[in-house]
């Protein structure tokens, strides 16, 4: 059966379709890689239920630190970094935790759902390790020491930034 003649007006469309067909595997690969980047741990929380005395104390101490200036390596009221905030707050509740966010993430018991008073870990430096930690408050918020020039504050976990950099959660408190 003879092939129909290709007119000059349909030739460019057929050439474009052929190029698109050759590019389709690359487009699909790029889409899969993009979606795979979204497949990290999900930041899941649970606010229902009562708080233990330890958790209530942790949250009260964390709220008392609001407004404290950020200071790299800081562990006292004159300045706190993120892991210094966690270490100070937990120590006041009688719970010992490692000094750095990386060690806290590595050594504390991980959990699937964060409750108020639990720790949330993030890779904000892009190296794959925990480089930031905050204390989950409940209602999709955490208290943290955000960085140089800022103060201990409350932030919303619904911000895409935190969702994208989330590594996991830990529950050092009963």
- Give the span between the Cα atoms of 46 and 171, in whole angstroms: 13
Overall pTM surpassing 0.85 (yes/no): no
pLDDT of residue 31: 42
Predicted confidence at residue 32, as pLDDT, reads 46
Q: What angle do CA 164, 157, 150 make, to 5 degrees?
A: 95
| pLDDT of 30 | 47
- Residue extents of the structural domains in the chain: 53-170
* Sheet of 110-111, strand order: 110-111, 166-170, 119-122, 132-138, 141-144, 153-156
pLDDT at residue number 22: 64
Q: What are the structure tokens assigned to 48, written together?
A: 């229902």
- Pull the structure tokens for residue 149: 């020039």
Yes or no: say if 133 and 167 are a contact pair by the CB < 8 Å rule: no
**CATH class label, 53-170:** alpha beta
Along the 174 residues of the chain, how does pLDDT read in single tens digits?
Answer: 555 555 556 566 556 555 646 655 554 544 444 444 455 678 888 776 788 999 999 999 999 999 999 999 999 999 999 999 999 999 999 999 999 999 999 999 999 999 999 999 999 999 999 999 999 999 999 999 999 999 999 999 999 999 999 999 999 998
């Amino acid at each position: 059966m003879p092939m129909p003649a290709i007119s000059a007006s349909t030739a460019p469309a057929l050439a474009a379709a052929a190029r698109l067909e050759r590019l389709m595997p690359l487009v699909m690969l790029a889409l899969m890689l993009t979606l795979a980047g979204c497949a990290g741990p999900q930041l899941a929380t649970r606010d229902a239920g009562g708080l233990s005395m330890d958790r209530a104390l942790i949250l009260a101490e964390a709220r008392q630190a609001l407004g404290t200036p950020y200071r790299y390596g800081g562990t006292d009221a004159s300045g706190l970094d993120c892991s210094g905030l966690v270490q100070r707050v937990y120590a006041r509740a009688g719970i010992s935790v490692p000094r750095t966010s990386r060690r806290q993430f590595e050594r504390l018991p991980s959990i699937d759902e964060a409750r108020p008073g639990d720790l949330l870990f993030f890779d904000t430096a892009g190296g794959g390790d925990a480089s930031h930690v905050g204390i989950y408050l409940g209602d999709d918020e955490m208290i943290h020491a955000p960085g140089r020039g800022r103060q201990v504050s409350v932030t919303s976990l619904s911000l895409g930034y935190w969702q994208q950099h989330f590594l996991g959660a830990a529950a050092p408190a009963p």
